[in-house]
Amino acid sequence: MTREQKAQVIEELTAELGNNPNIYLADISGLDAGNTSDLRRACFKANVKLAVVKNTLLTKAMEASEKDFGELPNVLKGNTSVMYSETGNAPAKVIKAFRKKSDRPLLKGAFIEEAIYIGDDQLDALVDIKSREELIGDIVGLLQSPAKNVISALKSGGGKLAGILKTLSEKEG
């Protein structure tokens, strides 16, 4: 690979790092061609982009990026694949589902909306991260809940109140 080609790859990687809020680094070494193809297919279905990269080029792209990747460049040893996603937990779910039938891919680290996760032991925590849409749905549900309770209390309470008033008026007469 010529110096110009390396510069071009670094530029493209830097752009990808800048354009994606969620970046996972995984080790897929040891997967045969069939399993690698299955993993790529699973990533495609989950709207996750998977790319195998050279560690030195990715390190330079991370340094050139405006984002602070903290300790992530330190995990760039051995075989590295990058997974890009709009949804924070999508790559983690793909990895976890794929590991039901294989011991790979291993999670090296992740950069999720400015937060950094290092190590394969973080996989379960990453699976549990809620997407922006899920969080908005939860908030809307929480906001609707008290209003629904008040409305149902008013609807049912109206009949009770009328009954109480009627009973009281009959007692006085």
pLDDT at residue 145, rounded to an integer: 75
Residue ranges in the chain whose pLDDT is less than 50: none
- Whole-prediction pTM: 0.74
pLDDT at residue 170, rounded to an integer: 78
Which of 24, 34, 29 lies closest to 105 in space, CA to CA? 29
CA neighbours closer than 13 Å in the CB half-sphere of residue 50: 23
Cα–Cα distance list, 148 to 18, 56, 134, 140, 145 (Å):
43, 56, 21, 12, 5
| 97, 42 contact by CB (below 8 A) | yes
